[in-house]
A and B are shown apart, each in its own frame.
Chain A
Amino acid sequence: MKKTLPKYYPLIPVFAAYLIMFLVGFSIPGMWQMVALLAFYCALGQSWNIFMGMTGYVDFGYVTFIALGTYGMSLGITYLSQYEWLGIGIIVIGFILALFLASLSALLEAFIALRLRGAYFAIACIGINEGLRYLIEGAKFWGGSEGLIFFGALVQALGRETVNQLTTFWADFSVFIIAALAAFLNMHYMRSKIGYALTAVREDEDAAKVMGINANKYKTIAFLTSGWLGAAVGAMAWGLKLGYVYPGDVFVIHYTVECIVVVLLGGAGTLLGPVIGGLIYGLSKYWLAVIMPGFQLLIFAPIIIIIIVVAPEGVVGLLKSKLKGTKLEMFIE
């Protein structure tokens, strides 16, 4: 029986993986950038997976959250860096702004998610993503298509030394924290009322509603959580780290697809999946960029297709069936 399993054991391998990644990056010179990239993919996969894994909805416009997170941080820094007394507070405000913008868009999309299913939901989310991108470019707010460039303002407000530390260490470090937090929340949801409720909804929505489960409430919670985490990654790994934002750079469907690839490689709807997927995807992308620059996509596309056809349950799916009945089973979820 599942219920007799200790609650949070499956988190151990996930946290262990993040800790090893962090230590490798921290202690071996020259590894930090690569480890930060891996953490970025793991965090995004993990955050995307929360909503998909629990509800079965495919949010093809997920990059909207990452982009709005980037904009939240960028707007905060651009417009508040003139107030010197705020100090490091502008980053805190930027972060809050990121979460706020993501909440607005998540509520808007959740509004559709509660009505539409399957392909319609995926298309609607793509629509919102593109609609926002071109609205920013067309109506010329938030800097329009020229974007916001605020690295200079940041340096002026906080000093070169602090900014250096922020962009080269703390921005990446926070991605690790977000990744771990995403894993924890995912586990926590799976093992609490919301997880059971959403499982019931996924199996048979009408029956669940008759039993008195408020499907809409739980779907919205899962969606908001997923959106916040994505926005947090965007705010730190793109906004704070890069010091600029262009609409054409951030509202790009390819990033959603990268999330999906990460999740699918590792195992959709599993806890360990995004970590394994993020490592495989990040490492192979990094490696291909070194050995044959410019041909990564040409090699990736057929590999993705083959994996979908041959092993749609991902690495964790294979692992689970291998470990079934052994002691290790309780560590894999």
Chain B
Amino acid sequence: MIFQLLVGNLTHGLLLGGVYGVATMGLSLIFGVINVVNVGHGQFIMVGAFVALTMFTALGLSPVIAIPVALVLGMALGFFFFYTVMRRLIKAPELTSLLATFAMGILLEEIAKLIFGADFRGYNWAVGKITLPITTIPMSKVYAFVGSIVIALFLYFWFSKTRLGTAMRAVIEDNEGARVCGVNVGWIYALSFAIGIGLTVMSGVLLTMFIPVGINPYMGGRYTLKAFVIAVLGGLTSPYGAFFAGLIFGLIENGAYTLFAQIPGVAPFPLTVSLAFWMLFFLLLVKPTGLLGK
């Protein structure tokens, strides 16, 4: 009985994990290239969720169309914030970049509250469900998972096959060396930041399939923290590492929740969240390069 429950929940965890992976790739990319931890990361996910919600409820468009829209909007936001703020903070001490990205997050939250109000909202993209012997899975979640795999593969090809992608990897590896080899590092900074934010906003669209009534201007903070855990698990500077770490995190989260729920007298949900952070703490002490790191 418990075994069936566990396997069922792990299946859901894997699907959610794919979305977590995409939601963290942007954080890792930005940290890898410009060495800035985006403390306002989750708020960009929130923007994506509102893009999906607005397009679905106001225009009746399916989330599939919201994905490219979110990417474009996210990249525009990324370029905007890069050229107005981040460009000046790349060489500055962490103090300023941490505070600046946090302030960006607050700004997005407050603008979203101004436009949409602070209520919890959601939408239901009814595209059927599949019934497995152990559990029932809504098709929307499956599509979100497939979407996250496609995005991850796309990014893989971008990094390995295109000139710009290779240049980005070069900057992550060795900033000065890339500059010497003729890479326009300034442009790579801007583009990486924009792509990082674009990916993050896009992941917000995918995430809405998992939170039927959880869209709210203040939903982001929680995902920032999860993204930290996942990013560290994946090695912090590696976008692929982040994707696989996302899958692992989704499994651990749902698995741990199922097991904690069996213990009487505790609150399983907060305990699961807590576990994630102790895991983070432990990882940072033992293996700061991440599970998949060298």
Restricting to A211-239, which residues have a CB under 8 Å from any CB of B? Answer: none
User: How far, in whole Å, are A116 and B268 apart by their CA atoms in the complex?
Assistant: 31
Given the interface pairs A140-B267, A305-B107, the reply to whether A257 lies near B94 with Cβ below 8 Å is no
Is A31's CB within 8 Å of the partner chain B?
no
Given the interface pairs A264-B99, A268-B95, the reply to whether A145 lies near B267 with Cβ below 8 Å is yes
Residues 102-126 of chain A, each 1 if its beta carbon lies under 8 Å from chain B, else 0: 0000000001100110111011101
Assess the B114–A131 pair: CB atoms within 8 A: no
Given the interface pairs A130-B225, A135-B271, A301-B103, the reply to whether A308 lies near B96 with Cβ below 8 Å is yes
Is A137's CB within 8 Å of the partner chain B?
yes
Assess the B100–A124 pair: CB atoms within 8 A: no
User: How far, in whole Å, are A328 and B89 apart by their CA atoms in the complex?
Assistant: 32
| Residue among A122, A124, A140, A295 making CB contact with B98, cutoff 8 Å | A122
| Residue among B89, B94, B107, B284 making CB contact with A301, cutoff 8 Å | B107
Among B37, B111, B221, B272, the most chain A Cβ lie within 10 Å of the Cβ of B37
Given the interface pairs A119-B37, A134-B273, the reply to whether A128 lies near B281 with Cβ below 8 Å is yes
User: How far, in whole Å, are A123 and B35 apart by their CA atoms in the complex?
Assistant: 13
Assess the B88–A309 pair: CB atoms within 8 A: yes
Counted as pairs of residues, one from A and one from B, with CB atoms less than 8 Å apart, the total is 142
| B-chain residues with CB within 8 Å of residue A118 when the two chains form the complex | 94
Q: How many residues of A contact B (CB 8 A)?
A: 46
Assess the A302–B107 pair: CB atoms within 8 A: yes
* Size bracket of the B interface: 35 or more
| A-chain residues with CB within 8 Å of residue B215 when the two chains form the complex | none
| Residue among B95, B96, B271 making CB contact with A138, cutoff 8 Å | B271
Closest CB-CB distance, B136 to chain A, in whole Å?
Answer: 28
Closest CB-CB distance, B97 to chain A, in whole Å?
Answer: 8
Binds B, one of A52-60, A153-161, A165-173: A52-60
| B-chain residues with CB within 8 Å of residue A116 when the two chains form the complex | 284, 288
**Chain A contact residues, majority secondary structure:** helix
User: How far, in whole Å, are A304 and B272 apart by their CA atoms in the complex?
Assistant: 34
| A-chain residues with CB within 8 Å of residue B107 when the two chains form the complex | 298, 301-302, 305
Among A134, A257, A260, the most chain B Cβ lie within 10 Å of the Cβ of A134
Closest CB-CB distance, B225 to chain A, in whole Å?
Answer: 6
Assess the B109–A112 pair: CB atoms within 8 A: no
Assess the A298–B37 pair: CB atoms within 8 A: no
User: How far, in whole Å, are A264 and B118 apart by their CA atoms in the complex?
Assistant: 30
Closest CB-CB distance, A247 to chain B, in whole Å?
Answer: 9
Residues 290-318 of chain A, each 1 if its beta carbon lies under 8 Å from chain B, else 0: 00000101101110110011001000000
Is A144's CB within 8 Å of the partner chain B?
yes
Assess the A131–B228 pair: CB atoms within 8 A: no
User: How far, in whole Å, are A133 and B276 apart by their CA atoms in the complex?
Assistant: 12
Is A139's CB within 8 Å of the partner chain B?
yes
| B-chain residues with CB within 8 Å of residue A128 when the two chains form the complex | 277, 281
Can you list 14 A-B pairs, Cβ within 8 angstroms, ordered by A? A115-B288, A120-B232, A120-B288, A122-B98, A124-B284, A128-B277, A131-B274, A131-B277, A131-B280, A135-B274, A145-B267, A260-B95, A298-B111, A302-B103
The 4 A-B residue pairs whose C-beta atoms are closest, nearest first, are: A138-B271, A131-B277, A134-B274, A138-B270
